[in-house]
Amino acid sequence: MSLWSQVQKFQNKKILVIGDIGLDEYVNGAVKRISPEAPVPVVEVAKEELRLGLATNVAQNIRSLGGEACLISVIGKDFAADQLRSLLRDAGVSDAHLVTDSSRPTTRKLRVMSEHHHVVRVDYETKKFLSSEVENKVIQKTEELMPQVQGVILQDYAKGLFSEKGIQKIIEIAKRHNKKVVVDPHRATPIKYYRGADLMTPNAEEAIQLSGVHVDDLRQVSETFEEVGLALMKAIGSEQMIVTRGKDGMSIFDKKSNERVPTFARDVFDVTGAGD
């Protein structure tokens, strides 16, 4: 079956996306001198740009493929939240299911760049677990939307949206409604949080750390990452696993076989959101 036919099957499907969201802000300009106040470059700003970041980028990708993304997340009560809502509406993604928590800021990542070179990145965020009240609101929205969707994507960026109790409750709700759960994990989150998920898509570094396979052991096995993939599947009880490996493509595992999908070289200057 061709890739295009697979994409066409995705059209009009409704996917529930739950995860940390944020605003990506880019300030681009030229560096022509060093500041007299400190030994740092002075960027003469030529352009500013706002983009959807973190799980909002995933929702936007679903929309671009012809699907509908139902996005659940938590934002602050601030100007960045207003900007994020506006960008979501422009992208055709509803902001109706976002939960506001005035005790935390909306995640914002400001990148100052000179052409293709990063000068500095400034992060505005609070990394802490949600209060019980806010977490319950997220679970309630999950219960309400689950019967309407065809699948669930959990995007974990370790900003505090997902506690073990929260993830397990979401997976339990999905199982009750016979909906598949795909997880994009974070290396800092214990793998037991994801048990019960149908598929996980870590990158190579995340896969090694989450699997518990010692790096030295990998020198003694084939480059298929087979030991890592099998350890991950066993840890969460899944039948399949995908490990993305950058320039080396990706390794796809299931209980019966594993295969390697290669990549083709491209000149890329901005890889933000590439994993999504």
| 114 in Cβ contact with 29 (< 8 Å) | yes
Active site residue 276: yes
| 182 in Cβ contact with 154 (< 8 Å) | yes
Q: Of the candidates 75, 67, 123, which has an alpha carbon nearest to the alpha carbon of residue 91?
A: 67
Collapsing DSSP to helix, strand or coil, 213 comes out as coil
Count CB neighbours of 229 within 10 A.
24
Helix (H) or strand (E) holding 46: strand 41-54
Structural tokens at position 149: 């969707």
Nearest 5°: CA angle at 265, between 263 and 269? Answer: 115
Contacts of 64 (CB under 8 A, 6+ apart): none
Cross-strand pairs, 255? none
**Pairing relationship of beta strands 21-34 and 41-54 according to DSSP bridges:** antiparallel
Per annotation, catalytic residue among 20, 24, 101, 276: 276
The set of catalytic residues is: 276
